[in-house]
Amino acid sequence: MSELSPSSPAHDAELSAYARLVRRRIVLIGALCLLMTAAMLFDIATGPSNLPLSDVLTGILHPGALDAPSRVIIWDVRLPYALMATLVGAALALAGAEMQTILNNPLASPFTLGVSSAASFGAALALVMGLSLPLLPVGWNLPVFAFILAFGSVLLLQMLASLRGTGVETLVLFGIALVFTFNALVALVQFVATQEALQQLVFWSMGSLARATWDKLGVLALVLLATTPFSLAASWRMTALRLGEDRARSFGISVRRLRFLALLRVSLLAATSVAFVGTIGFIGLVAPHIARLLVGEDHRFFLPASMLTGAAIMSLASVASKTLVPGALLPVGIVTALIGVPFFVVLVFSRRERL
């Protein structure tokens, strides 16, 4: 076990092998970017009125070159829906990737700790009980209530966990308790709801992109822009956390702080997404798994790859929601799993042994 000089041939060979691995991952992330863009354009081009892809591109690049109805379809319907699909997919996937790392659990998703149940309860209060906040524009009441409850549930979770210590098990146990509590409260509200309100609530909980508007897109984009740099800045620490909590602490990482800040980001991303489009499961669970199979768990690559994968799956799910039943727009929350599962299974079976 003698010490070799830094310039030994073995050293150089391993360095160039690592450089190749890094290049391969960058290429894969580039390919995911292309896939996401293609899926988004395909999503914009898909709909009841037949708009060829060339018209879509023209409409986006030179809006004045198209006739008014096509312009309205592209700018007021297709583009917001498609962008919302992309942003929600990226937000939920980033939230899921961070959640799986901080909880050290491959089955974790943004909704594991009750964020979605709390949002549903908020939506139920707004829809069924007719609660509203003053000065809120029409159309914002429900998302704001959903957001307040979702974000509040995470703060409550943090508070409960800090009373008892911040171990992963404590967080998950309190999270599960919150899921059951909010589900029971939603059931209670449903029990007293009118037929019409109940129908609206059920539809809301299925998740739909049809609620997208440019203002909501702006808010979600801002949340993503505000959280992603912090996620990426924490990427080495998150990678180290994969080696175990004791290990990470011995590297000098304040795991409690890392976990708290990550959970805040997750709750912001998940609560905003759920508030605007309802519950969309599966993306936050499976997109990180696909990204992990593709680029491993160095979070510098894993987090962006998760976001791009989530965005691509969500866009493809949006296309499927428009085409599976001709003439009908299915709630996208129903089809995300239908699109994601085959993709996931193919990847698992074709997984190469090396990373």
Partner 1 sequence: MAPPALRIEGLSAGYGRRRVISDLSLPAIEGGGVTALIGPNAAGKTTLLRSLAGLVPARGSIRLDEVELTRLSVAGHSARVAYMPQALPQRVALTVLEATLSALMSSPDGASDVAEAQSRALRALERLGISDLAMRGLDELSGGQRQLASLAQSIVREPTVLLLDEPTSALDIHHQLRVMQFVRELAEERGIIVVIVLHDIAQAARYATRVVVMKQGAVAADGPPDAAITPAMLADVYKVAARVERCSHGFLQIMVDRALDEAGVQARSVAPPST
Using CB under 8 A, which residues numbered 293 to 312 contact partner 1?
293, 296-298
C-beta of 275 vs 287, nearer to partner 1: 287
Shortest Å, Cβ 112 to partner 1: 18
Task: Return the structure tokens found at 86.
Answer: 């992309």
Question: Under the criterion CB under 8 A, does residue 105 sit at the interface with partner 1?
Answer: no
DSSP string covering 110-148, please?
A: TTTTSHHHHHHHHHHHHHTS----TTPPTT-HHHHHHHH
Q: Is 348 in the site for partner 1 (CB under 8 A)?
A: no
| Stretch touching partner 1 by CB under 8 A, among 131-139, 200-208, 245-253, 342-350 | 245-253
Query: Of 237, 259, 265, 322, which one interacts with partner 1 (CB under 8 A)?
Result: 237
Both tokens of 330, joined, read: 């299915």
* Shortest distance in whole angstroms from residue 137 CB to partner 1: 44
Cα Dmax for the chain: 78
Q: Which segment (15-23, 119-127, 151-159, 276-284) binds partner 1 by CB under 8 A?
A: 15-23
Our separate counts of H helices and E strands in the chain read 15, 0
Place of tokens 């959640």: 99
Q: Closest separation between CB of residue 178 and partner 1, Å?
A: 24
Contacts to partner 1 from residues 175-234, by CB under 8 A: none
Q: Is 71 in the site for partner 1 (CB under 8 A)?
A: no
| Closer residue to partner 1, CB minimum distance, 101 or 112 | 101
- 180-184 contact pairs (CB < 8 A, 24+): 181/114, 181/117, 182/114, 182/117, 182/118, 182/120, 182/121, 182/149, 182/153, 183/117, 183/120
SS3 51: coil
Q: Which residues bind partner 1 (CB under 8 A)?
A: 1, 3-4, 6, 8, 10-11, 14-15, 17-18, 21, 106, 236-237, 239-240, 242-244, 246-254, 292-293, 296-298, 353-355
